[in-house]
Chain A
Amino acid sequence: MPEQIEFDAVVVGAGPAGASAALALARAGRSVVLVERGPFPGSKNVYGGVVYGRVLDNIVPNWWEEVPVERWVVRRSTMMMTGTQSLSVDFRSQAWGSAPYNGMTTLRSHFDAWLAGKATDAGARLVTSTVATGLIQDSAGRVVGVRTDRDGAELRAPVVIACDGVNSFLAKEAGLLPRAEASHHTLGVKEVLDLPPGAINERFGVQDHEGVDMEILGCTRGIPGGGFLYTNADSVSIGVVVSLPELAASGVRPEALIADLKAHPTIAPLLAGSTLREYGAHLIPEGGYDTMPALAADGLLIAGDAGAMTLAAGLWLEGVNFAIGSGYAAGQATDRALSQGDCSAKGLASYRADLEGQFVLADHKRLRKAPSLVLSERVQQRYPGLICDLAEGMFTVTNPTPKAGALALTRQMAARHGVKLRQLAGDTLRGLRIFG
């Protein structure tokens, strides 16, 4: 007979969602175990590089005084590029460089461990190096715990919160997620490159502790997706995020896309002399609001990437904040359900209602049409070149030859890139409707 241990709640996965869920439950006085399959929280996680902190304000007051930050983002640059051109909208705010801050670069092995530490400080029990291998269900099909690979030990509780990431086998076992739906996923590949802090400061125009966040369109050989470059304390994170089915169809190796980006004339000088510290990859659930799974079953909630809560829609590139927000809400909903003695899907329904009422699902709902626009053929394959050529046309001095006006240039460049003006106007309007 394998060992059975009883808790008020079992949380699977000690990433930001799981740590936040365990924190909420421990604060409510509940006994909660946080199961992590890696040797430490964050050890299985790779992301682009920025955490937006507003969600932490109510969870960890003055979090910025203790969070393991690499750099505070004070510059955000959105770039369109072709092989030989680039055009950036580059915004800087010194307000983002002081409390309460906006976004920070941080590494997941540091950040996730810090947040899980908040949960254990509050009384949660963290068990690492342990895989939750499957759900335990009672005769009525209610989830009542998880099996583990630690001597077959069973962790039992009225509620299991699955924060087991993008591949969530627990959500799949419960029938909440499809087994494998490539079209709902992108692949992120990243390299962390060592670069001395002084070189980062000079090349990116920042002071110590200040950082830069660059998002790049047009650098993925036409495979829907984009690139990124973030500054850490003494390294930079560079990578691409691309549609999984389109990557597979292209036959292009993912790391070759990073090599392309590193060789671009705008990017290469920023990286000169850097050395590779770590290469990594991770899937991202990017189906958006319309493909989001049901978030509750009897005795089960899902949060974070397991619930497809990421936004990678152009101006919005967020995930860790949604994981924290959803995880904390899942912990609170579990506490309420335990108090009411009803841990069925109905008893746990306040979770979804809570998320709909706050930024987690409100943002996903508002931007539900964004992925299809941002990943569309025109935005991905035509507009970066069109816009760069338009800028080149406007900024190239041609005199004594007279220069075409802006409208004539737009017509000319649209025709060159196979875009009709009404399509350009239509997409602009669509963008304004989605993001406005």
Chain B
Amino acid sequence: MSAVMPGAGKWDGISFAQRMATVDFRIGARAHIAVDSDICRSCTTKACVSACPANLFAPTADGGILFNYEECFECGTCYMVCNSDGAITWTYPDGGHGVVFHHG
């Protein structure tokens, strides 16, 4: 890769938790995304872990994936980059719930 910036890989002083704390989420009772960790265990890339802009996919010690739906941007990145049919079941949160962008 060319064009590595000064400070590449370093943080800009804002933690990820601080970033996510700026976003308004109206969390619904139903998990709108389900992850089948049995399928994830056979996945070698686990692209969802690095690509999800809300950083909601955490690899577990047994090779699976731990997923939290609460602070989801509903962008679709995870199911688009996923290798395995059926690993990620993706729907929208119930009406009025989920992310609310005020400055999008």
Chain A residues proximal to chain B, CB less than 8 Å: 37-39, 42-47, 81-84, 107-109, 128-131, 148-150, 166-167, 169, 180-182, 185, 187, 189-192, 218-223, 235, 237, 244-245, 247-256, 258-265, 276-283, 381-382, 384-385
Question: Given the complex of chains A and B, what is the CA–CA distance between A180 and B77 in angstroms?
Answer: 10
B1-29 contact mask (Cβ, 8 Å, vs A): 1 or 0: 11111111111101010111011001000
Which residue in chain B gives the minimum CB-CB distance to A262?
A: B12
Count how many chain B residues have C-beta atoms less than 8 Å from C-beta atoms of the other chain.
49
Partner of B2, one of A252, A280, A385: A385
Smallest CB separation, B29 vs chain A (Å)? 13
Q: Are A280 and B51 in contact (CB under 8 A)?
A: no
Which residue in chain A gives the minimum CB-CB distance to B26?
A: A39
Q: Are A283 and B47 in contact (CB under 8 A)?
A: no
Question: Given the complex of chains A and B, what is the CA–CA distance between A264 and B3 in angstroms?
Answer: 11
- The reply on B76 being an interface residue by CB < 8 A is yes
Q: Are A279 and B6 in contact (CB under 8 A)?
A: no
Which residue in chain A gives the minimum CB-CB distance to B88?
A: A180
Which residues in B have their C-beta under 8 angstroms from that of A244? 51, 77, 80-81
Q: Are A219 and B54 in contact (CB under 8 A)?
A: no
- The reply on B100 being an interface residue by CB < 8 A is yes
Give me 20 other A-B pairs in contact (C-beta within 8 A), A255-B19, A276-B14 excluded: A38-B98, A43-B102, A44-B98, A45-B101, A83-B8, A107-B102, A128-B96, A131-B95, A150-B95, A185-B76, A222-B1, A244-B77, A251-B50, A252-B50, A253-B50, A255-B16, A259-B11, A263-B7, A264-B5, A277-B103
| Contact A221:B94 (CB < 8 A) given known A263-B12, A279-B23 | no
Which residues in A have their C-beta under 8 angstroms from that of B82? 180
Selected A-B contacts with CB under 8 Å, 28 pairs:
A37-B95, A37-B96, A108-B104, A131-B95, A167-B76, A169-B92, A180-B80, A185-B76, A187-B75, A190-B104, A220-B3, A221-B3, A222-B3, A235-B103, A244-B77, A248-B45, A256-B8, A259-B11, A259-B14, A265-B6, A276-B19, A278-B103, A279-B20, A279-B23, A280-B101, A280-B103, A283-B77, A381-B2
Chain B residues proximal to chain A, CB less than 8 Å: 1-12, 14, 16, 18-20, 22-23, 26, 45, 47, 50-51, 53-55, 73-77, 79-82, 91-96, 98-104
Smallest CB separation, B9 vs chain A (Å)? 7
Most chain A beta-carbon contacts within 10 A, residue among B1, B16, B77: B77
Which residues in A have their C-beta under 8 angstroms from that of B45? 248
Question: Given the complex of chains A and B, what is the CA–CA distance between A278 and B98 in angstroms?
Answer: 15
| Contact A182:B80 (CB < 8 A) given known A109-B104, A222-B1, A276-B19 | yes
Which residues in B have their C-beta under 8 angstroms from that of A262? 12
- Total number of residue pairs linking A and B with CB closer than 8 Å: 182
Chain A interface, >50% SS class: mixed
Q: Are A107 and B104 in contact (CB under 8 A)?
A: yes
Which residues in A have their C-beta under 8 angstroms from that of B2? 82, 222, 381-382, 384-385
Smallest CB separation, A244 vs chain B (Å)? 6
Which residues in B have their C-beta under 8 angstroms from that of A44? 74, 98-101, 104
Which residue in chain B gives the minimum CB-CB distance to A418?
A: B2
Q: Are A278 and B23 in contact (CB under 8 A)?
A: yes
Which residue in chain B gives the minimum CB-CB distance to A36?
A: B95
Smallest CB separation, A411 vs chain B (Å)? 20
Q: Are A47 and B19 in contact (CB under 8 A)?
A: no
Which residues in A have their C-beta under 8 angstroms from that of B55? 253
Which residue in chain B gives the minimum CB-CB distance to A112?
A: B104
Smallest CB separation, A263 vs chain B (Å)? 4
Partner of B81, one of A46, A166, A248, A264: A248
